[in-house]
Amino acid sequence: MIGKLIITVLVIGGGAFLLLSDNFEGFISPYADAAASDIENIKNDPAIQAEFNQALETIYENLTKIKFSLSDFF
């Protein structure tokens, strides 16, 4: 019960901060700039792209195995 109350307070407090803060753009701007530069670095790094593609292929293979298992089950 206390955990739900804490989560509720955080969500409402965060929403109030976003709605009522005049300086939100100044607060979030450094984090947004850092995230944008990290995304650009990831997009331009072939090693990260290869790992990402390998992860997607693994997920796709596992999903097809699950699909075939379910079709065999039914």
- Please state the domain count of the chain: 1
* Banded model confidence at residue 58, pLDDT cuts 50, 70, 90: very high
What range defines the domain where residue 39 resides?
A: 2-73
Residues 36, 54, 61, 66, Cα dihedral to 10°: -50
Would the pTM count as exceeding 0.95?
no
- pLDDT mean across residues, the chain: 83
Name the percent of the chain lying above pLDDT 90: 16
What's the pLDDT score for residue 39? 84
- Given phi > 0 = left and psi -120 to 50 = alpha, else beta, which region is 21? beta
Cβ atoms of residues 7 and 13 within 8 Å:
no
Q: What percent of the chain has pLDDT over 70?
A: 91
Residue 55 has pLDDT above 90, yes or no: yes
